[in-house]
Amino acid sequence: MHPFTYTKAADTREALDAGRRGGRYIAGGTTLVDLMRETVERPASLIDISALPLSDTTVTKGGGLRIGALVRMSEAAAHPTVRALYPVISQALELSASAQLRNMATIGGNIMQRTRCTYFRDVTADCNKREPGSGCAALHGYNRGHAIFGTSDSCVATHPSDLAVALAALEATIHLLGPDGERSVPFSDFLLQPGSTPHREQAVLPGELITGVEIPAHPRPLTSGYLKVRDRQSYEFALTSAAVALRIGGGVIREAKVAVGGVGTVPWKLPAVERRLIGERPSHRLWAEAAEQATDGARPLKYNGFKVELLKRTVERQLRTLGGIT
């Protein structure tokens, strides 16, 4: 591990001042400390923001839900309002990591976590994300767990967060605070596809920190859930996953929100699937036809072609589970 300084910010002003001077924010530390041990990350200065007042979960005036950046994953998953309004969020969180990690890791940190690409974590391998311009060992290496959407010649790594898939489906907003004040970014613009700059992963400006996540009010009733497919049933990242929310009224699907994980360089929204569902009556045939469109535009690599079929089945099964007619 490389030498670094550690400061605990007493308040937001202190945190932002230290952030302006180039310090890295840390709260739960479940990703960053691991990466520092492996010398993948080498920050000169850490600013512990865990004392900041960002640990509330509240219903907004408009009927949406705001989850503070420092709420622990386990707290958010168990929160009665989160469970009642957006089970897809609770389920995505409960299917993430281990219980011990969920007790430490925060909502903000979960969104900011870095890829689990094994080459990224191997400092002897070429990796444009870790070392811009060095190449991508995964492109022609063992890429079974890598992305089929949003890839570039520079990087094909998936985004690892389950929570992020649920937030993409629900069209959440990220709230940020920085040296120039507060701002909000739609979640669809927050996580960046790699393009030619895979080391740029989020739309965060220097010195900014996440203050919270807001899920807009969705007309009710809304049923939602998260399905995660992985090599083993615990403590494993998704091969494929599906976050789905449906509003069915008068026997017809009025609203459909669908995003998938384990397959994109960022959580991947499926507007074609959503369009296919809206205005239709639930049926076996509809679920299958909609799921067939889940892989439009997919570009599998040498070892991950199986994800194309697996993703269709994941989406179809989750639609059946939520929409009925099983």
| CA-CA-CA-CA torsion sign (193, 139, 294, 311) | negative
194-213 residues in contact with ligand SF4 (CB under 6 A) are 198
Report if residue 137 touches ligand SF4, rule: CB under 6 A.
yes
At residue 55, φ and ψ (nearest 5 deg) are: -115, 25
Here the tokens at position 300 are: 């599998």
CB of 303 to ligand SF4, least distance (A): 13
Report if residue 128 touches ligand SF4, rule: CB under 6 A.
yes
Report if residue 148 touches ligand SF4, rule: CB under 6 A.
no
Q: Which stretch binds ligand SF4 (CB under 6 A): 31-39, 54-62, 117-125, 301-309?
A: 117-125
| Helices of type H across the chain | 12-20, 32-37, 73-78, 80-85, 87-94, 99-104, 107-112, 162-169, 187-190, 271-277, 284-292, 306-323
CB of 127 to ligand SF4, least distance (A): 3
Nearest to 78 by CA among 103, 98, 61: 103
User: Considering only residues 52, 93, 95, 155, which one is a binding residue for ligand SF4 as defined by CB under 6 A?
Assistant: 155
Which CB atom, from 50 or from 152, has the smaller least distance to ligand SF4?
152
Q: Which stretch binds ligand SF4 (CB under 6 A): 70-78, 130-138, 202-210, 270-278?
A: 130-138
Residue partners of 198: CB distance under 8 A and separation at least 6: 128, 129, 132, 136, 152, 154, 155, 157
| CA-CA-CA-CA torsion sign (209, 214, 215, 216) | negative
Question: How many of the other CB atoms lie within 10 Å of CB of 215?
Answer: 23
Q: Which stretch binds ligand SF4 (CB under 6 A): 23-31, 152-160, 164-172, 220-228?
A: 152-160
Q: Which stretch binds ligand SF4 (CB under 6 A): 18-26, 69-77, 127-135, 288-296?
A: 127-135
C-alpha span between 11 and 257 (Å, rounded): 38
Which CB atom, from 193 or from 211, has the smaller least distance to ligand SF4?
193
Nearest to 28 by CA among 114, 103, 91, 116: 103
**For the chain, the helix, strand and coil percentages under 3-state DSSP, each to the nearest 5:** 30, 25, 50
Instruction: Look at the block and give the residue holding tokens 């489906």.
Output: 169
User: Considering only residues 136, 191, 253, 311, which one is a binding residue for ligand SF4 as defined by CB under 6 A?
Assistant: 136
Q: Which stretch binds ligand SF4 (CB under 6 A): 115-123, 202-210, 275-283, 305-313?
A: 115-123
CB of 12 to ligand SF4, least distance (A): 32
CB of 41 to ligand SF4, least distance (A): 13
Binding site for ligand SF4 (CB under 6 A): 115, 117, 119-120, 127-129, 136-138, 155-157, 198
